[in-house]
């Protein structure tokens, strides 16, 4: 199974594609789309759309795992993340790719086994599980890989429960 994980954002959108074969999890491709705050919102949305469309075309994911929106303070940031998330969902719909959302706590538990894990702990587990030579440059990319792993682990648990 090929999973694309996305950590949505308009300034930085992390993405990570993993392949899952039984208990083997391999990072296929990953990166971060960065837009300039000097561009208008519509220019930034267009850039995210164009770059992510190419990423979907080049990597052929079978499923999209994306982080649910969770904000308690900054409404402006929430709107910008929501706009980016909408772009991601549109691209998935255009490609007939199913979408599964995970909240931050689900990702922490799935990747580290601990619901209060910090970013550093999550990053180290992503590096270990995917056997990465080094951590990705941006936390957003690491988070996207963690979201993809969360879906992989979730699917494995569902299969085991059926047995």
The owner of tokens 């940031």 is 77
CB neighbour list of residue 14: distance below 8 Å, 6 or more residues apart: 6, 7, 30, 31, 32, 136, 138, 139, 140, 141, 142, 143, 144
Is 67 an active-site residue?
yes
Give the span between the Cα atoms of 4 and 40, in whole angstroms: 27
The residue from 19, 106, 139, 140 that is catalytic is 140
The residue from 19, 67, 106, 139 that is catalytic is 67
The residue from 7, 19, 139, 143 that is catalytic is 7
Is 51 an active-site residue?
no
Query: What secondary structure letter does DSSP report for 35?
Result: -
Active-site positions read 7, 67, 140
């Amino acid at each position: 199974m090929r999973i694309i994980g996305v950590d949505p954002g308009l300034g930085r959108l992390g993405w990570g594609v993993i392949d899952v074969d039984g208990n083997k999890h391999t990072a296929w491709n990953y990166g971060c789309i960065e837009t300039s705050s000097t561009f208008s919102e519509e220019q930034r949305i267009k850039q995210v759309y164009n770059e992510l469309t190419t990423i979907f075309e080049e990597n052929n994911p079978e499923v999209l795992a994306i982080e649910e929106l969770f904000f308690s303070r900054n409404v402006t940031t929430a709107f910008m993340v929501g706009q980016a998330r909408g772009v991601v969902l549109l691209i998935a719909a255009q490609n007939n790719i199913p979408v599964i959302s995970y909240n931050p706590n689900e990702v922490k538990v799935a990747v580290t086994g601990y619901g209060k894990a910090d970013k550093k702990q999550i990053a180290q587990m992503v590096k270990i599980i995917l056997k990465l030579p080094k951590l990705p440059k941006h936390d957003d990319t690491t988070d996207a890989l963690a979201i993809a792993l969360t879906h992989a682990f979730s699917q494995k648990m569902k299969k085991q429960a059926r047995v």
